[in-house]
């Protein structure tokens, strides 16, 4: 039940901008691209009206937008930007720079399909194309989660044991442009939750070097240490979430629904609600649902614990890895299960490419097909394409 005194009707983009405003950022860089443009538009309004005292810099490209954030972050500013699709692809070079320089930047990524052919609708192709850039990656299911997760992301990014950039992902249009009541915290509560931590920064009186040239004698070590830190961030996340003042909004690595179901479905993002409805209201009680909130660092231990007793595991990817044995999320799940010694019937499902949103009818057909595969027994790998109009499901 929403407390109407603190609830506001917001889209996912509005919720993102409001969370950033309350997080008291110092620097915002902006370049418009559908469907994220509303986020920086709202933030520009907050700055223009005096509600937010921040430097707002409109750049000439997404590459420049993230580059400006790197400079601001190294100078000690709390920095934010947002993008989608081709914009994230254009940032690709600087994604590695931001993580390698340990810049605690927070970015909202409104997920959208990559060209070609040109498409402005939602899928996860953009962020999966950047999954190895060394960023913490979080996925929100709805505008309420967008709000909570962005605030927690600043504390996670700036934690002294982390100092890494964070991307908060929300599905293009279905989450970014859909409205729902969003419960918000008081400004003073958010400010208390987000203290300013001392960290290495550019300073005229205390010279330091950032981004120095690294020969083969040192580069390898830098990358291994960066990987160790990213893995450590998963442990720090639990601490960051535990202190968040809204218990129901605390960021969890995974969220489980109907845990007794013998067929486990793993998914990220906005389609989670459609599956939850199908399981709950249409009485597919033999299915459990695992909504993955943290993609990087990947929560292997928590995921294996959640599915180790399942008769079958369904992994739903809203992107593809052309030519690879498995798609991004399915690949991570399969590796986690193999490493833990868990042998189970695994069904890799690709869905929702280019904004082809799964209907209830499509989900029910998938559930029936998965039941058929699970009844067949054995420990095998199956592949399905949900909603594909060629050969297949």
- DSSP characters for 1-16? ---TTTEEEEEHHHHH
pLDDT at 125 over 70: yes
Over range 285-297, report the average pLDDT.
97
For residue 98, the model assigns a pLDDT of 98
| Within-domain flag for 2 | no
Domain that holds residue 168: 7-249
Is residue 301 included in any domain, yes or no?
A: yes
Examine the pLDDT at 133 and tell me if it is beyond 90: yes
Q: What is the pLDDT of residue 230?
A: 98
Report the pLDDT averaged over residues 51-67: 98
The percentage of residues in the chain with a pLDDT greater than 70, rounded to a whole number, is 98
Residue 375: give its domain's CATH number: 3.40.50.920
pLDDT tens digits for 100-116? 999 999 999 999 999 99
Compute the distance between CA of residue 225 and CA of residue 161 in angstroms, rounded to an integer: 12
Q: Tell me, what CATH number does 136's domain have? A: 3.40.50.970
| Whether residues 157 and 306 fall in one domain | no
Does residue 204 sit in the same domain as residue 98? yes
At residue 1 the predicted structure's pLDDT band, cuts being 50, 70 and 90, is very low
Q: What is the pLDDT of residue 200?
A: 84
Same domain as 378, residue 233: no
Residues 39 and 129 reside in one and the same domain: yes
Q: How does DSSP assign 284-351, residue by residue?
A: -TTEEEEEE-EEES--HHHHHHHHTT-SEEEEEESS--TTSSS-HHHHHHHHHHHHTT---EEEEEEE
339-372 pLDDT per residue, tens? 999 999 999 999 999 999 999 999 999 999 999 9
Residues 142 and 275 in one domain: no
pLDDT band at 3 (very low <50, low <70, confident <90, very high): low
Co-location of 235 and 272 in the same domain: no
Specify whether 231 is located in the same domain as 317: no
Segment 332-342 mean pLDDT: 97
Asked whether residue 42 is domain-assigned, the answer is: yes
CA atoms of 37 and 85, how far apart (whole Å):
12
| 302 domain residue, yes or no | yes
Lowest mean pLDDT among 156-160, 202-206, 222-226, 263-267: 202-206
**Per-residue pLDDT at 90 exceeds 80:** yes
pLDDT above 80: residue 219: yes
Same domain assignment for residues 230 and 263: no
**Band of the pLDDT at 210, cuts 50, 70, 90?**
confident
In a domain, 371, yes or no: yes
Q: What does the pLDDT read at residue 4?
A: 46
What's the confidence (pLDDT) of residue 380?
Answer: 87
Residue 211 pLDDT exceeds 50: yes
| 344 and 220 both lie in a single domain | no
**What is the spatial distance between Cα 84 and Cα 35, in angstroms, rounded to a whole number?**
7
Burial 292-324 (b: 16+ CB within 10 A, else e): bbbbbbbbbebbbebbeebebbbbbbbbbbeee
Q: What is the mean pLDDT of residues 310-314?
A: 96
Predicted pLDDT of residue 5: 53
Q: How many domains does the chain have?
A: 2
Nearest residue to 154 (alpha-carbon basis) of 251, 228, 34: 251
Residue 391 resides in a domain: no
Radius of gyration of the chain (CA): 21
Q: Are residues 182 and 77 in the same domain?
A: yes
pLDDT, residue 393, reads: 52
On whether residue 1 sits in a domain, the answer given is no
Any idea which of 32-46, 166-180, 195-209, 235-249 has the lowest mean pLDDT?
A: 195-209
Token pair belonging to 186: 């008081």
Tell whether 67 and 165 lie within a shared domain: yes
Evaluate whether residue 393 is within a structural domain: no
Same domain, 222 and 83: yes
């Amino acid at each position: 039940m929403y407390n109407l005194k603190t609830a506001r009707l917001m889209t996912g983009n509005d919720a993102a901008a409001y969370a950033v405003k309350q997080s008291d950022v110092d620097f915002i860089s902006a370049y418009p691209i559908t469907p994220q443009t509303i986020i920086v538009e709202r933030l520009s309004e907050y700055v223009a009206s005096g509600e937010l005292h921040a430097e707002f810099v409109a750049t000439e490209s997404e590459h420049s937008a993230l580059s400006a954030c790197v400079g601001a972050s190294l100078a000690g500013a709390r920095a934010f930007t947002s993008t989608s699709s081709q914009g994230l692809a254009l940032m690709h070079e600087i994604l590695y720079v931001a993580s390698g320089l340990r810049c605690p930047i927070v970015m909202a990524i409104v997920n959208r399909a990559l060209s070609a052919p040109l498409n402005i609708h939602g899928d996860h192709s953009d962020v999966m194309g950047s999954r190895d850039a060394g960023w913490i990656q979080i996925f929100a299911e709805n505008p309420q989660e967008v709000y909570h997760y962005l605030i927690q992301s600043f504390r996670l990014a700036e934690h002294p044991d982390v100092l890494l950039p964070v991307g908060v992902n929300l599905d293009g249009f279905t989450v970014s442009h859909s409205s729902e009541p969003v419960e918000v915290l008081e400004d003073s509560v958010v400010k208390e939750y987000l203290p300013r931590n001392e960290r290495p920064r550019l300073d005229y009186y205390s010279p330091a070097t950032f981004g120095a040239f690294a020969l083969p004698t040192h580069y390898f070590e830098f990358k291994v240490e960066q990987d160790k830190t990213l893995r450590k961030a998963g442990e720090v996340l639990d601490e960051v979430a535990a202190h968040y003042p809204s218990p129901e909004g605390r960021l969890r690595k995974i969220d489980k629904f109907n845990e007794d179901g013998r067929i486990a479905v793993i998914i990220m993002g906005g389609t989670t609600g459609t599956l939850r409805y199908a399981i709950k209201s249409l009485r597919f009680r033999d299915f459990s649902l695992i909504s993955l909130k943290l993609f990087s660092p990947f929560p292997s231990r928590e995921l294996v614990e959640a599915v180790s007793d399942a008769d079958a595991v369904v992994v739903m990817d809203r992107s593809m890895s052309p030519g690879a044995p498995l798609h991004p999320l399915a690949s991570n799940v399969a590796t986690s299960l193999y490493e833990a010694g868990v042998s189970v019937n695994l069904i890799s499902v690709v869905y929702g490419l280019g904004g082809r949103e799964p209907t209830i009818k499509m989900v029910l057909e998938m559930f029936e097909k998965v039941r058929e595969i699970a009844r067949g027994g054995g420990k095998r790998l199956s592949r399905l394409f949900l909603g594909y109009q060629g050969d297949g499901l």
